[in-house]
A and B are shown apart, each in its own frame.
Chain A
Amino acid sequence: MSATTPIPEADGIAACPVSLELNGQRRHLDIEPWTTLLDLLRDRLAMTGTKKGCDHGQCGACTVLVDGKRVNACLTLAVMCDGKQVTTIEGLARGDELHPIQQAFIDHDAFQCGYCTPGQICSAVGMVNEGRARSRDDIREQMSGNICRCGAYPHILEAIEDALPAARAWAGEGER
């Protein structure tokens, strides 16, 4: 998990040293400037919980949190994350205790194939941080950057709505 896979040096372009905090762990990495955060996570660090669905910022499967805000990892160059905190689906639970939104997704059957799920959950956590989820329509609208081809949308809505208070409390505890 820790070692980066060396790749041949392209002519004249050196890998850049990048230091970031990934799921609470400080990581020092040498990263080619063209490597996206998504490819860094999946191919170099074998953290495959973050999914590649389109690689064009159109599906949301690769949503992660950078400094608490949701971003499409496929549209983010890894070098842009120097000095930042990156949280992926692997970093949401506290030990064995799932994040309230993770637990609510299980309880409400808010997924089927599971491929969009990490992105949906990270997006929901980001939305909670944004403090803009005030109604069901808000949630629907603000979760519309995450496509679920299995069509679990009504259950995703229920799960998020149900977990909102606990998720807010969870975020508060994290800050203390």
Chain B
Amino acid sequence: MNSTSPIGQPLPRVDGRLKVTGQAKYAAEFEIPGLLHGSVVNSTIARGRVRRIDTTAAEAVAGVVLVLTHENRPPVASYDEPYQDDDAADGSPFRPLYNDRVLYSGQPLALVVAESLELARYAGSLVRIEYDVEPHQTDLAAVREQAHPAPEEVPSRGDFEAAYRGAPLQIDHEYGTPIEHHNPMEPHASTVHYQPGDELIIHDKTQGVQNCMRYVEGVFGLEGKVQVHSPFVGGAFGSGLRPQYQLPLAVMAALKLKRSVRVVLKRQQMFTFGYRPRTLQRLAIGFSPNGRLEALHHGSLGQTSRFEDFTEHEVEWSGALYACDNVQLEYRLGSLDVYTPIDMRAPGAAIGVYALEAAMDEVAYAAAIDPLQLRLRNYTEINGNQGKPYSSKELCACYEQGAERFGWSRRPLEARSMRDGHELIGWGMATGVWEAMQMPASAKACLAADGRLIVSSATADIGTGTYTVMTQIAASALGLPMDRVEFRLGDSRFAQAPLEGGSATVSSVGSAVHQACVGLREKILDAAQQSPASPFTGASLDDVAFEDGELVLKREPARRVPLTQLIQTSGTLEAEASVKPGDEREKYATGTHSAIFVEVRVDEALGTVRVTRVVSAVAAGKVINPKTAASQILGGVVWGIGMALHEETWTDHRLGRYMNHNLAEYHVPVNADIHDIDVFFVEEQDSVVNDLGSKGVGEIGIVGVAAAVANAIYHATGKRVRDLPITPDKLL
């Protein structure tokens, strides 16, 4: 990488112009002649059977062409495997319109297909469904005793019970986190373009085009006949990791009618599939008067459906983040008459680290130690769960630089010690942690006849900046200006890519893009050596450089040839690469870390909380694009503020049904809720995680933020609220 490499530069998004002019096309925005519109009818009970669906009135509406139910749908697979997508939980996946069973409230039971959206929606209101209702249970707290161990081994070490009993000081508290829904701004949608012979070109909102392609091919027996495209995704945050039900419903209608069909979910229906599970967590910590952790128990009870066991890493963080010899982790699930949860931004960590870091604050007060000092006192560079050192962990730099920027040293230890008029002021902090994963991925690089470099992989850009950072990686590898490189994604026909999730895309797909370009360098050099008089005869890759669109002989830099000239004689050159995680990773634990410092102002009379200042210091290895990466962290912080103060999906347990399934009552932060947020990255070198040394930043931004806010609220008010979100009623 030469001095003009775009890697590490805060470049604007390459797809920015398309997005600010309304030209970026999302799943529901592809025009197809004769397109039909589908509207989904959902169950109003949580458990039972459909006795009868009366579709007469709906079918009588002029312009309605089909009402699809379990009784007239096309054939689908009758065993679990085809439904088990790349992000499936253990169990038997939900099958839309499969039979008369109602498994949760909001389950799709019919699809009305009509010539226009308004007609489909109206006719949907005329579908009458009679049920045989069965008793349901949707309250996690009510099934505490019947919970079962999660199908995931959680590590423990030492002897917690004895060490806890023997510790001079102890805390033991329960923390609660509510159901949250992703609510990306773009509702889930599928546009199925029907082709003769049951070939389908599908525009779907997804984080994995190949995942959805395999699902549709398997469920409907359409091997080799399905393409899935998703060039733009209007946010997902995990909701697009599994195929959602509008996809198979649209496919069913298209196959039955042999016509093109679009199904778009309503905002209310965005609450009828996956979500972040409600959890009840217990943290019991034994510690010495100087704050050293001697025993730590972290148990979590999470909710799941009756048909799948959803698991995520909720408690493991407590065995990894701090030094402690006696750790007991426990993870159980309560099965309810609900849909299965799905990964949501920093799945597991967002809620598990909240509980841990809120408990650490309680330890700090019990031991009368500054919360930052407490973290430093228990610092470790070993992941205790795995007994392995971290490949890099610049968390101390995050603590130190973050504290400096925030002014943490001026913080009085006592709660309720800062006030400005009617507002109580509090400062809190927390640590964040996430994994630095890498998955197998492939990419293809092609130097076209016009000298442009086209690189592609079947990954996604859900707003994360994939288009931009992949362009940077490719441009850097071949010494080309950004505007001569194009990265393409979101097409199931492209080179294999994993689901876009877990903060692993730069690490996985970015490594493949880099390798594909390295492969292309060889092809280019070969091509340059074809003519007998070539100045590159006998040169190896080490002897040449790729700079400013030219191939250059390093020892005689005057000898150079533009790639545009080379390609005239050679014709198009291509290289494909597949990259797997390196063996070196086996010896190490890998992770991203952060330190978050928060100031809140709490109105004493009203209990309203404003988060007036946040400093988020992040260690994530090499940052490919500081501009888009900072936006990722910023977004994560906003999510953390929402998690701390606003977000909660309420269930009416008598009906087994959500009560606030809209954006007026499910509160997410708005512009006026957000104040100063200072995001920065500390230097972190890592040669183990991947060739780029880059770790990914999609999740780390949210982790720890809710705890830092909760801890700041305690510092302001002296009130410890352990059940999120911390709404004004809980502070009065």
Contact = CB atoms under 8 A, between A and B. Distances in A.
A140 B635 CA distance: 16
A115 B22 contact: no
A9 B61 CA distance: 11
B671 A112 contact: no
A107 B20 CA distance: 11
Contacts of B12: 106-107, 109
Interface in B12-34: 12-13, 15-26, 28-29, 31
Contacts of B116: 5, 7, 43
Contacts of A83: none
A85 interface: no
B262 to A, nearest CB: 9
Given A42-B29, A53-B267, A54-B267, A90 B21 contact: yes
Q: Interface SS of chain B: helix, strand, loop or mixed?
A: loop
A150 interface: yes
A98 B20 contact: yes
Nearest to B122: A34
A66 interface: no
Most buried by B among A32, A50, A113, A153: A113
B416 interface: no
Contacts of B13: 106, 109
Most buried by B among A48, A90, A145, A157: A48
Nearest to B30: A48
Interface in B654-691: 662-664, 668-674, 676-677
Contact of B635 (A107, A151, A157): A151
B68 interface: no
Interface residues of A, number: 66
B17 A43 contact: no
A154 B115 contact: no
Contacts of A51: 26, 185-186, 234
A79 interface: no
Given A43-B116, A114-B15, A148 B185 contact: yes
Interface string A82-118: 0000001110110000100011011101011111111
Contacts of A155: 631, 634
A93 B464 CA distance: 26
Contacts of A92: 21
Contact of A54 (B118, B634, B663): B663
Nearest to A119: B185
B632 to A, nearest CB: 8
A140 B29 contact: no
A148 to B, nearest CB: 7
B663 to A, nearest CB: 4
B235 A35 contact: no
Interface stretch (B274-282, B399-407, B570-578, B636-644): B636-644
A56 B20 contact: no
Given A49-B23, A51-B186, A150 B235 contact: yes
Given A109-B12, A144-B671, A89 B21 contact: yes
Interface string A116-131: 1110010000000000
A72 interface: no
Q: What 9 A-B pairs come out closest when comparing CB atoms? A: A49-B22, A151-B638, A115-B234, A113-B463, A112-B463, A114-B19, A151-B635, A89-B22, A48-B29
26 contacts: A7-B115, A8-B119, A43-B37, A43-B116, A48-B25, A49-B21, A50-B22, A52-B187, A53-B267, A54-B662, A58-B664, A59-B267, A111-B463, A112-B635, A113-B462, A114-B15, A114-B24, A115-B186, A137-B672, A139-B671, A148-B671, A151-B639, A152-B634, A152-B635, A153-B671, A154-B677
Given A52-B187, A89-B22, 7 more contacts: A8-B119, A48-B22, A112-B464, A112-B465, A114-B15, A114-B20, A151-B669
